[in-house]
Structures are given as C-alpha cells and as structure tokens.
C-alpha cells in the first residue's frame, strides 16, 4: 500500500479517473493507501453499481461517480493525471479500444494504472477466491457476457503491454495487511455466494450443469477458508506511447 502511495506522490492534488469502478472498491484502496488527490471520478456502465458507489462515498465531496461507458467518455482530451483500471481487464471485450480511450483522457505526463487479481502464487484460502471467480466467469460466459478467468501475472503483463500502446514503467504485487482467519459464519457466507450466483441464472438447465462445480467450490471454501486473491499493479506512462 505504501508503494502505491509513493508511486503516485509525483501527482500531487491529482485528478483521478477509475474506469469500471463498480461499487468503488479501488477508490477505497486509493484512500486507504493515503494517495493525495483533488478529485476522483469513477465510471461504470451499471446504474446499480454507480448508485452503490455514491452511497459508499457520500461523505467525501471530492469523489463522484457517473454512469458512463469507457468507449463513450465525454471528458475532454488530457483531463486526468491518473487513469485506473482495476479488476476490469478480464471483463473487456476490446481491451485495445478501452486503452485507447483511457490514453485520450490522460495528460501527457500522467500515469495509467492497471490493478488486476492474479491466479498464480496463491495460498489455499486465496485459491477459494480464484475458484469462486472462475465459477462466476463461467456462468457469465454461458449467458453471453464477456468474463474471462483470472489471468496469471505474466499474462497480465503481456496483455497490458500488447493492448495499451504504452511501456510498462513498474509493476508489483499489491500488499494488503494480513487478513484475520474468517469465522465459521463468514466462511459459510462466502460459500453461500455460490448459491447466490446460481440463483441468478434464469435457465434451469444451465443451473444444473454448473451445480456440481458449485458444490466443489463450496467444499473448497469450507475446507480451506477464504481470502482475497493477490493483485498485481502495473504502472504505464503516456510519454512512452507507441503508434
């Protein structure tokens, strides 16, 4: 977390854009890390997520959220000092186009930051998170929604380097304070996420297809516990853009 703050300290009073913000999870990470900023704008295509994010940060007037597609951003060129894409890379149908859109609104001396959960180098509790995410991704794909499995670290670096048109300036594993062992009730709540995911599937046949896999994920969580997967931060600079 300190490394994230220190890396962004060269952008004092920054104007930050968080693309695919969801309910604002990465905005919370930036605040927790002590990153200095004048404004954070989070955008997402989900009205429900944007409404939740607004409630989550209602006490900070420097932070606002808008329903907006990254491919149709209305901000002028070179608006933001920092543009973030957190745990969204694996959802992108056209990563090259999204990176091009983010580059357009990034200042010439700005920083593009990608944060993405990884599938390798995980302990048993983190593997529970990976398997739950892979189940969610498979269910989405069955419904025609773009949702890839979790990338390995080297895959993230390869995708970002290939699609962004920028050079990678730095990368590191985002370290969070050690999480306490989850209680039995918390473990059961995580396991219950499987049933909630399956309940969202309208097609009963599809639900049954994934039932056995869901039970295996619940068994993994109940046996090993649950913890968030490791996340990789990648820093890119616009000055290194290629054609």
pLDDT digits (tens, 9 = 90+) for 102-123: 999 999 999 999 999 999 999 9
SS (H, E, C) the chain: CHHHHHHHHHCCCEEEEEECCCCCHHHHHHHHCCCCEEEEEEEECCHHHHHHHHHHCCCCCCEEEEECCHHHCCCCCCCEEEEEEECCHHHCCCHHHHHHHHHHHEEEEEEEEEEEECCCCCCHHHHHHHHHHHHHHHHHHHCCCCCCCCCCHHHHHHHHHHHHCCEEEEEEEECCCCCCCCCHHHHHHHHHHHHHHHHCCCCHHHHHHHHHHHHHHHHHHHHHCCCCCCEEEEEEEHHHCCC
pLDDT digits (tens, 9 = 90+) for 177-226: 777 888 999 999 999 999 999 999 999 999 999 999 999 999 999 999 99
The domain segmentation of the chain, as residue ranges, is 2-240
**Model pTM score:** 0.92
User: What CATH architecture applies to the domain 2-240?
Assistant: 3-Layer(aba) Sandwich (3.40)
């Amino acid at each position: 977390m300190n490394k994230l703050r220190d890396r962004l300290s060269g952008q004092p009073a920054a104007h930050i854009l968080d693309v695919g913000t969801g309910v604002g999870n990465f905005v919370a990470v930036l605040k927790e890390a002590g990153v200095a900023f004048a404004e954070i704008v989070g955008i997402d295509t989900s009205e429900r997520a944007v409404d939740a994010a607004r409630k989550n940060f209602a006490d900070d007037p420097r932070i606002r959220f808008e329903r907006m597609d990254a491919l149709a951003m209305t901000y002028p060129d070179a608006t933001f000092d920092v543009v973030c894409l957190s745990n969204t890379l694996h959802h992108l149908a056209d990563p090259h186009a999204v990176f091009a859109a983010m580059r357009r609104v990034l200042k010439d001396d700005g920083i593009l930051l990608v944060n993405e959960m990884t599938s390798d180098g995980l302990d048993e509790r983190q593997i529970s998170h990976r398997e739950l995410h892979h189940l969610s991704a498979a269910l989405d794909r069955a419904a025609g929604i773009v949702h890839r499995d979790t990338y390995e670290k080297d895959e993230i670096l390869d995708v970002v380097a290939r699609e962004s048109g920028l050079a990678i300036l730095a990368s590191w594993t985002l370290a969070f304070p050690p999480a306490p062992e989850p209680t039995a009730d918390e473990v059961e709540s995580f396991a219950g996420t499987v049933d909630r995911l399956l309940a969202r599937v309208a097609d009963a046949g599809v639900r049954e297809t994934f039932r056995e896999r869901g039970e295996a994920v619940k068994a993994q969580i109940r046996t090993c516990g649950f913890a968030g997967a490791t996340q990789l931060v990648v820093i890119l600079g616009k000055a290194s853009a290629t054609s």
